Amino acid sequence: MLTVDDLHPKAMDLADAGFLAQKKSQLEDAKMLFQKALELEKQAALLLSKDENAEPTRSILYRSAAALAYHGELYDLADELILEALSGYPPPEIKQELKALSEKVRFQRHFNQIKPQFESDPIHLKGILIYADSTNNSRLGMVKLVEPDTHQKYSILVPMTLMKSVVKPYYEENVIITAFSDGKEIYFGAINSENA
């Protein structure tokens, strides 16, 4: 029978190959490698019982499997694996990482939903997030981004369900926002720290 020590290193080798393929823009190969790595990492995580003695190894393996599901574009499975990790006894730092990964999954789902609504390619805006407010529309809030060099400001509409996730961790930070425009308004797609 295979053990965690057999499965985990093989999963990490496949994940490394996936990131290398991603760097080379071989996106379908990368996705396939992440999904293969995910299967091994999930098998390793399932070998551990849901008790305190299995921690932090158990939650680390589930976090790793969830991240592989995210990179393999299996967002429902990523959510399931995050919940499974949280259902045990993860240490506080792993809990934080799982919550951050959950936000990334949420953002990616939002991005995948909004992208088909626009005919244009996404735009990438760099700057400092300086302002956040809800609008009269209960579904949309607004953030403002200012480019440090040119001082150009952009007003970006953000779904209210994502406002806290966008504003709280990124307020007054240098960020890159991926957005879409309909010619009149700019709509939020995704956000990353410029240093990431």
CATH code at position 172? 2.40.50.140
Whether residues 105 and 65 share a domain: the answer is yes
Q: What is the pLDDT of residues 21-39, one digit of tens each?
A: 988 889 899 999 999 999 9
How far, in Å, CA of 46 to CA of 7, rounded? 11
Residue 18 pLDDT class (50, 70, 90 cuts): very high
In which residue are the tokens 């626009």 written? 118
Radius of gyration (C-alpha) of the chain in whole angstroms: 19
Task: Compute the distance between CA of residue 195 and CA of residue 128 in angstroms, rounded to an integer.
Answer: 12
Tens of pLDDT, residue by residue over 35-77, are 999 999 999 999 999 999 999 999 999 999 999 999 999 999 9
How many structural domains compose the chain?
2
Q: Within 13 Å of residue 148, how many CA atoms lie on the same side as its CB?
A: 10
For residue 99, the tally of other CB atoms under 10 A from its CB is: 11
Instruction: Find the domain containing 12 and state its range.
Output: 4-115
Same domain? 79 vs 173: no
